[in-house]
Amino acid sequence: MCGFRYFNDTVFFMQIVKTRPPETIANIAICLINQTDYLLFRQLNTLGKQFLNEGGFKERMTRMRIQKRSGNNNNRL
């Protein structure tokens, strides 16, 4: 993958934790928390924009029922 590795195996991180000083482990934890916060922030923004553009779940279901009744089966969630 072009030199980029995915580290999603807990065994990898457990080995690192055993060999690093507590300050380094704390910094790793802070970085992971910041990355998680950023990704959740982006997801919430995307969901907010999607809600504004397409409406909520109930509105989409109502639209689909109306389309079904009118014979137009263009079901888009």
Query: Of the candidates 42, 44, 14, 11, which has an alpha carbon nearest to the alpha carbon of residue 28?
Result: 14
Residue range 12-42, pLDDT digits in tens: 778 888 899 999 999 989 998 999 999 999 9
Give the global pTM: 0.60
> With 60 as the cut, is the pLDDT of residue 5 above it?
yes
Question: Within its chain, how far is the Cα of 5 from the centroid?
Answer: 20
**What is the per-residue DSSP string for 35-68?**
HHHHHHHHHHHHHHHHHHHH--HHHHHHHHHHHH
